[in-house]
Amino acid sequence: MSKSVLAGIDGSAESTAAARWAADEAVRRGQALRLVHAWTWEDDVRADPGRPAQVGSLTERLLDDAARQVRSAHPGLEVHTGLLAGHEPTASLLAAAAESELFVVGSLGLGGFEGLLVGSVGLDVAARCEVPVVLVRAAQTQPAGADGATEVVVGVDTRAPADEVVEFAFQQAAARAAVLRAVHGWTPPPVWGYAGWVAPPVETERFRAIEAELLGLALSGWRAKYPEVTVVEDTRIGGGAGAVVDASGNAALVVVGRRRHHRLGLRLGPVAHAVIHHAQAPVAVVPHN
């Protein structure tokens, strides 16, 4: 099969939202949509123990219902469905994602922690997938331009900007005719004074100018490559994660990076981890070297 957009389906409201988001993205890309369900022990629980064939029929009906919904919204969209067999759902999903350009998954709540949006499978996939992963929750399906959501937000590390992350964000902004807000959070270096460790206002302004210049340099080549994209360069005092989350309220999509080989064995860096849990918009996690 040619490259496609992949969406994981499990029957939840969040996975339905993921399927709708993925369908919109497939249309923008001019690609097919593939809806898959990874078998879990819950499939057996939902089925009649005396009728093993029910497992297959239940999952087929689940996939057929999702396909019917997206075909209704996009009559010309090529839609494929498939059941992924295996003992480990994450491994099955990762294998399927390797044949796609983008993987979209629903973000599941974890039992009463406000702002904690990602279930264990979604978090594991985002941490290990070799293609960009978009995490969507049920209330986050509006396209750019709806309800004032007109921006794509990308977090930029000015000391080590990741080309894969920045280019993905520019591509998304161009496809949506959306403004790209490039956000860089930074902390002024403190100096010792009578009040303790503080950053003098004059020094803070000097560092603010330096950080703004570094952000501009990180984006200059991409501005030239995507001249049609309006870019807002947004430097904010504070941690990178907080800056991106604060900027997410008016976003159609938030883009963050994940190192493929993170030091200390961590699969997600602290910024990506915080953003995918607390952002107010769908989050794209883009792997980079």
Task: Judge whether residue 179 has pLDDT over 90.
Answer: yes
Structure tokens at 208: 């603010």
Q: What CA–CA distances, in Å, run from 55 to 46, 63, 167?
A: 8, 13, 42
On the question of a common fold for 4-136 and 151-288, the answer reads yes
Per the rule left: phi > 0, alpha: psi between -120 and 50, beta: everything else, 35 is beta
Give mean pLDDT, residues 121-142: 84
pLDDT in tens, 16-30: 999 999 999 999 999
Please state the pTM of the whole predicted model.
Answer: 0.86
Residues 6+ apart with CB under 8 A from 187: 237, 238, 239
pLDDT in tens, 60-93: 888 999 999 999 999 999 999 998 877 788 899 9
The DSSP H or E segment spanning 151 is: strand 151-155
* Distance, CA of 177 to CA of 173 (rounded, Å): 6
Q: What is the structure's pLDDT at 27?
A: 96
* Distance, CA of 206 to CA of 187 (rounded, Å): 12
Say which CATH class 4-136 falls into.
alpha beta
For the segment(s) 151-288, the CATH number from 3.30.470.10, 1.10.287.610, 3.30.750.24, 3.40.50.12370 is 3.40.50.12370
Domains of the chain: which residue ranges?
Answer: 4-136, 151-288
